[in-house]
Amino acid sequence: MANTLFDALFAPLRGRDTALLILPDGRQISGAAFLAMVAQAAHALRAQGVQPGDRVAAQVAKSPQALAVYGAAVALGAVFLPLNTAYTPAEVDYFLGNATPRLFLCDPAKAVALAPVAAAHGTAVQTLDGAGGGSFAVAMSGQPETVQPADRGPDDLAAILYTSGTTGRSKGAMLSHRNLLSNAETLAALWRFTAADVLLHALPVFHTHGLFVATNISLLTGGAMIFLPGFDLDTVLRLLPQATAMMGVPTFYTRLLDDPRISRDLTAGMRLFVSGSAPLLAETHRAFRECTGHRILERYGMTETNMNTSNPYDGERRAGTVGFPLPGVDLRIMADGAEVAPGEVGVIEVRGPNVFLGYWQMPEKTAEELRPDGWFITGDVGCKDADGYVQIVGRAKDLVITGGFNVYPVEVEAELDAQPGVLESAVIGLPHPDFGEAVFAVLVPRPGATLNPDRVLQGLHDRLARFKQPKAAVVVPALPRNAMGKVQKADLRKTYAGWFSPGS
């Protein structure tokens, strides 16, 4: 029987005696050994009653066994549901109630708190820790090392990924076998991945970047992964000379740049550094090139679409942009129901085989954001320059409307980041009695620098129109970020909500 994802990603591992996973301590797991682990996990899932179409939720630490659960769900025709390890029991309660999975895998240390949550939704619980131990690992042991995959076609549901839920309840994006495979095939070709590549994998596997981009590309092309539980600076620097490629978030690169050990010699064997999941500062792009000789390749994607655009492998990787639409992906910039001219700002819409099927159990939300003709309204605001490079200006929900004028935070942030002593900034809109909203800046100083907020704002007087200039600013040690490095502006708006209130 055919199984679109299994046949492309996992079946080719049969008989492969070369390393697929290289662990931090030097141990290696061959392709064939990993496929056997996938089969054992599939039989363990089946013993828990998992059938085609059932959801399998996992809130577990990154490990080879955790990755095998993904492969096992694919093999059984189940729907994989990875959950951020930072989610609280209250948040998990929502996801389990919404997705109603057959089985929930969690860390043994959290089982006592999470078992009642799962029980309330009729979901069975098994445990799996970062060392590959737990009740599910016990259930895997002794199981057969081969499995007959369930019949699954391109349009069948493969995974549900929940959005970050910065406004309202998280939405479960339904991703098909075609969505995941088409994106991996496109990126593997565009970024020139082959069986000779060794990918340094320090990303989490509960997110599309680490699971459906990094892992799927490596599986598809027959390469190997240096499979790290997370980003540890010393470990990454030690293992970089063994790698040919790395995918990361901007904080990976800023932390590397802060260490004197990063150099051209250390990265001489690398052919590609990719950044995504959060905006990469143009300054970081330039600094990394000066330090290592490598141009970071920035791309743009979403939970609902995987990747949409990429800077070119050959040609100019333009700092501050996310490159061009991927082959097979259409992208347009819309305002007031019409496509805008180059250089003009609007909401980004995309269409292609990567675009999700809709939101789980939310037909109204699906109808709001996914047009009948396949165009997905991303909610991201951006523009295309005259050369076709796409620039992300911000999220539509982050747009500041002050005194009737639109202010795009990224424009103000770029000017703030250029001021002496400023490492980075976040611009938000806060309630204001006169203007409706006022522009407000949160500043992070460079190491060793002392910032005077008023002086920083004075530096914008000749750089921005008056209505774009922040009416106030604060200095903080660091910006709040999620696990993928995205600045949590909703948290900032909540923290400083009353700043301009009378009497505050």
Could you give the domains of the chain? 4-153 (3.40.50.12780), 198-395 (3.40.50.12780), 399-495 (3.30.300.30)
Q: What is the rounded distance in angstroms from the CA atom of residue 264 to the CA atom of residue 29?
A: 30
Buried b (16+ CB within 10 A) or exposed e, 423-435: bbbbbbbbebeeb
User: What does the angle CA 378 – CA 354 – CA 219 come to, to the nearest 5 degrees?
Assistant: 130
Length of the chain: 504
Cβ contact 20:172 at 8 Å: no
Average pLDDT along the chain, 504 residues, taken 10 residues at a time? 96 97 97 98 98 98 98 98 90 94 97 96 97 97 97 98 69 97 98 98 94 97 97 97 95 92 97 89 90 96 95 94 97 94 95 98 95 94 95 83 80 91 93 84 95 95 87 95 83 92 65
Q: What is the rounded distance in angstroms from the CA atom of residue 147 to the CA atom of residue 39?
A: 5
- What's the pLDDT score for residue 503? 59
Buried b (16+ CB within 10 A) or exposed e, 64-92: bbbbbbbbbbbbbbbbbbbbbbebeeebb
Beta strands in 326-369 (DSSP E): 330-335, 338-339, 346-351, 358-359
Whole-structure pTM value: 0.85
Question: Cα–Cα distances in Å, from 5 out to 65, 225, 305?
Answer: 19, 19, 17
- What's the pLDDT score for residue 70? 98
> What is the 3 state secondary structure string of 205-267?
CCCHHHHHHHHHHHHHHCCEEEECCCCCHHHHHHHHHHCCEEEECHHHHHHHHCCCCCCCCCC
- Per DSSP, what are the bridge partners of residue 397? none
- What's the pLDDT score for residue 297? 97
- What's the pLDDT score for residue 167? 43
Question: Cα–Cα distances in Å, from 380 out to 2, 349, 358?
Answer: 37, 8, 18
* H/E element, 55: strand 55-59
